[in-house]
């Protein structure tokens, strides 16, 4: 299992993101959406290969849409799916954010730099929703990896295959909590070819225990399904100086994967 784990000395992903959040906490929804649009459309002044925003994907309950951006070549046989993190669920310990839309959508930046023929970015439920009063806060707090959330992403991938007939398989890339979503999603689908996480919360029980937080009782734990995805190629990137999602979490997940 250790061959799937890559640690980078001196890289503190969690600390870097936290510092950005603290310095920009006043950004409005419009500012956040504009930032995402600019990231998707322009990369170092080059507009070639930009990701175009789509109307939010809605399944069953319109209260929890998924905002997406994509660049898809019609001949592509597989798609790389980037799942955003959940760094703005809380403003501080115990203080729930009124809007989980990220200030700096890291997964979107990664998606924009990916040269693959089919690249699709998916935000988390209730991110980029102008009127968050239609959402309920458990969807971005205690239940952010709940069964209902994972079913939405599952249906979202089905919809991609229906909309783009050439796409038959997926590579999942998840940042922070999006990494946990990627693992849980892969456990349900035979068409997931690989998993990559960056500072991924892939063991929620370990995460809450390390930070002395209330257990995420309304969420699923990616570590519980680790053995079901052991045949799926995967790499989990961690920062050795990251205190938010330390290497202990990925190592715990790996132990669960190796368990009989």
Predicted confidence at residue 160, as pLDDT, reads: 92
* Band of residue 15 on the pLDDT scale cut at 50, 70, 90: very low
Higher pLDDT, 221 or 27: 221
- For residue 155, give both structure tokens: 């249906």
Residues 40-61: what's their mean pLDDT? 65
* Band of residue 21 on the pLDDT scale cut at 50, 70, 90: very low
Residues 101-106: what's their mean pLDDT? 83
Predicted confidence at residue 14, as pLDDT, reads: 35
Backbone φ and ψ of 231, nearest 5°:
-85, -10
Predicted confidence at residue 134, as pLDDT, reads: 65
Predicted confidence at residue 93, as pLDDT, reads: 62
Predicted confidence at residue 73, as pLDDT, reads: 85
Position 168 pLDDT exceeds 50: yes
- For residue 11, give both structure tokens: 């890289």
Position 65 pLDDT exceeds 80: no
Backbone φ and ψ of 215, nearest 5°:
-55, 145
Position 13 pLDDT exceeds 50: no
Residues 15-44: what's their mean pLDDT? 58
Predicted confidence at residue 200, as pLDDT, reads: 96
> In this predicted model, what pLDDT tens digit does every residue of 224-234 receive, in sequence order?
999 999 999 99
> In this predicted model, what pLDDT tens digit does every residue of 141-164 receive, in sequence order?
777 898 989 998 999 999 999 989
Residues 41-56: what's their mean pLDDT? 66
């Amino acid at each position: 299992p250790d061959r799937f784990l890559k640690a980078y000395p001196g890289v503190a992903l969690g600390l870097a993101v936290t510092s950005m959040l603290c310095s920009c906490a006043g950004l409005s929804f419009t500012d956040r959406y504009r930032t995402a649009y600019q990231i998707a459309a322009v990369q170092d002044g080059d507009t070639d290969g930009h990701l175009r925003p789509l109307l939010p994907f809605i399944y069953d309950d319109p209260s929890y849409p998924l905002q997406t951006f994509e660049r898809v070549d019609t001949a592509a046989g597989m798609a790389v799916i980037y799942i955003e993190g959940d760094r703005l669920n809380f403003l501080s310990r115990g203080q729930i954010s009124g809007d989980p839309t990220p200030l700096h959508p890291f997964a979107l930046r990664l998606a924009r730099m990916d040269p693959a023929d089919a690249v699709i970015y998916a935000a988390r439920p209730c991110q980029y929703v102008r009127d968050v009063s239609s959402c309920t806060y458990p969807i971005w707090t205690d239940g952010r990896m709940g069964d209902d959330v994972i079913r939405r992403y599952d249906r979202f991938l089905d919809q991609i295959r229906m909309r783009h007939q050439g796409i038959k398989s997926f590579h999942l890339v998840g940042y922070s909590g999006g990494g946990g979503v990627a693992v849980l999603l892969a456990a349900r689908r035979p068409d997931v070819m690989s998993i990559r996480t960056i500072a991924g919360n892939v063991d929620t029980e370990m995460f809450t225990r390390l930070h002395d937080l209330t257990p995420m009782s309304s969420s699923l734990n990616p570590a519980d399904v680790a053995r079901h995805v052991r045949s799926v190629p995967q790499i989990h990137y961690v920062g050795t100086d990251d205190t938010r999602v330390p290497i202990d979490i990925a190592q715990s997940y790996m132990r669960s994967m190796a368990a009989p």
